[in-house]
Structure 1
Amino acid sequence: MKKKILLALLASAAALTGCANMESLGSDQEVVAAANQSCRQMDQKNTITHQYDGRMAIIRQGLPTQVGGQTLNYQVYKTKDMNAWAMPNGCVRVYSALIDRLNNDEVRAVLGHEIGHVALRHSVQQYRTNRGVAIALSAGGALGSLVGLDGTGSDLMQQVAYSAISAQYSQALETEADNYSVDLLLKEPNGKQKALAMASALKKISTGDADSGIMQKMFGDHPDTSKRIKNVEDRVAAAGNVK
């Protein structure tokens, strides 16, 4: 019975997010304003280092400076973690450990990936999708109480459904951003070599999740590393005579 309820919640969420006026779930201006605030908060919580400014200037040469009407703003955080992210206002943050471990072409490929998130408006899409799913699942909670589920069980099911939908959507966006980086770098001299740096960067960043279990595959924000690497390699191979 609970499985049927979960499927009903998933179906209602998908229907709502597919049919709703997406602008009503958050305008571009609202999302960018939220990103401005969030980026400031992140900068306050982390240590910004200028140790890598010279190297970053070299790495960024030739990459877009503006996408989607937003000027890209880079900073490096001094941290032992390996990560990078971007917000829809053009805020791009790279972690120093990632720069330490990757070569210039690999960092460049990662930057192309993050630029892709901004150019393709992924954060805006994700925000609207998450909000639409939350609204649908909130309505589904009433359905749960009607069929005898207690509040705790119903809440848990909603959280599971919400996580599953959001994670799978995020996986699709990560692949799109990988493709954006590959296509961007293929246009440059030695494009195939530079684009393949996305695959080698993924190998270095990976922490052994390529053979992750079913729960990771279902709920992880990123697709399996092995699949991402194959996608990159296949896309580069399909580019034909590009050097």
Structure 2
Amino acid sequence: MKTRIIFAMLLICAMSTTVHAQIKIGGKKINVDKAVQAGTDAAKAITLSDADVIRLCGEYMEWMDAHNPLTSPDSEYGKRLAKMVGHITEVEGGFKVNFGVYEVIDVNAFACGDGSIRICAGLMDVMTDDEVMAVIGHEIGHLVNTDVKDAWKSAYLRSAAKNAAGAVSSTAAKLTDSQYGELAEAFAGAQFSQKQENQADDYAFKFCIENDIDPYAMAKALNKLVELYNSGGEKSSRIQQMFSSHPDSEKRAKRMTEKADKYTGK
């Protein structure tokens, strides 16, 4: 039975920046407001290199995969994803990528700064292979355009993890559960600009063309999310947060449809 992912995160649509006073992870309450307040001045003095981001993101994804139901490669979801992306190990800019499916009900997908891309089973349940691939292309676009790296840096500096002794040292111990939880909350609050979203959509379109995928796939994916949201019921409730914080999905879908029309000569 699918559960909910421990944080609601969808990078195809920017999320709300609201930070709750407390979040609960593993039965523990974490006072996020206090954690973020502590060391605010110190954050200004911290600089994270690209190597730091990749290392910390890799550790963060180990924690995420351990705390969410990651499907096995021989599961229905795992086999379906492998069929779609098994040939993709590196993308533009030499970015090495890895994929996985969280068996949760969220209609979500996200990328992290180490090249990890995770798809939620709820999204795979409602989308065709081409539409899922378009979403994956969008996430890759955020990676290639450094949106994810910049968002992760910002999340790190907004969280109490920045105060961990030697946190950016290659010999430092891994962060604690509480610090990873604070990072999850901060990362979930990352918000991309409309320009960044449009650029990621454009990358998804190019990605679809290069991989012989329906050029209308990104437009269809966005339209499907809009339809699900407007339909009401359980599936609608799974994407309410996404649409409440990013109401321009219909405009993006229209823009991508026009782009595909131009490409196909319609």
Compute the TM-score of the two structures, normalised by the length of structure 1: 0.62
Alignment CA distance shift 1:177-1:223 (3 Å):
farther
**Distance in 1 between the 2:66 and 2:156 partners?**
27
- Pick 1 or 2: higher relative contact order, CA cutoff 8 A, min separation 6: 2
- Which residue matches 1:30? 52
Once the two structures are superposed, residues 28-76 of structure 1 have per-residue CA deviations (whole angstroms, 9 ceiling, x without a partner) of: 1122122112211111110011222221122226556344333211111
8 A contact 1:113–1:177 mirrored in 2: yes
Once the two structures are superposed, residues 164-189 of structure 1 have per-residue CA deviations (whole angstroms, 9 ceiling, x without a partner) of: xx64x443322211110101212344
- Which residue matches 1:230? 254
- Which residue matches 2:31? none
- Pick the aligned partner of 1:42 from 54, 57, 64: 64
**Distance in 2 between the 1:67 and 1:48 partners?**
26
- Which residue matches 2:215? 195
**Distance in 2 between the 1:40 and 1:106 partners?**
27
Instruction: Trace 1:98-177 onto structure 2 (pairs within 5 A).
Output: 98-127=123-152, 167=191, 169-177=192-200
Alignment CA distance shift 1:128-1:97 (3 Å):
closer
- Which residue matches 1:144? none
**Distance in 2 between the 1:37 and 1:197 partners?**
33
Alignment CA distance shift 1:235-1:61 (3 Å):
farther
Alignment CA distance shift 1:62-1:131 (3 Å):
closer
CA RMSD of aligned residues (A): 3.4
8 A contact 1:174–1:223 mirrored in 2: no
**Distance in 1 between the 2:106 and 2:130 partners?**
20
- Pick the aligned partner of 1:204 from 224, 228, 231: 224
Unpaired runs of at least 5, structure 1: 1-23, 135-165, 210-215
8 A contact 1:78–1:95 mirrored in 2: yes
Compute the TM-score of the two structures, normalised by the length of structure 2: 0.57
Which sits farther off after the overlay, 196-205 or 25-34? 25-34
Is 1:239 aligned with 2:232? Answer: no
Which of the two has higher C-alpha Rg? 1
Amino acid in structure 1 at the alignment position of 2:114: N
Alignment CA distance shift 1:171-1:129 (3 Å):
farther
**Distance in 1 between the 2:71 and 2:63 partners?**
16
Which sits farther off after the overlay, 170-179 or 88-97? 170-179
Larger proportion of helix: 1
8 A contact 2:113–2:152 mirrored in 1: no
**Distance in 1 between the 2:155 and 2:69 partners?**
30
**Distance in 1 between the 2:59 and 2:86 partners?**
28
Q: Look up the SS of the partner of 1:82 in the other structure.
A: coil
Aligned residue-pair number: 180
**Distance in 2 between the 1:235 and 1:104 partners?**
20
- Which residue matches 2:185? none
Which sits farther off after the overlay, 84-93 or 172-181? 172-181
**Distance in 2 between the 1:132 and 1:197 partners?**
36
Unpaired runs of at least 5, structure 2: 1-45, 160-189, 231-240
Alignment CA distance shift 1:88-1:133 (3 Å):
closer
Instruction: Trace 1:79-98 onto structure 2 (pairs within 5 A).
Output: 79-98=104-123
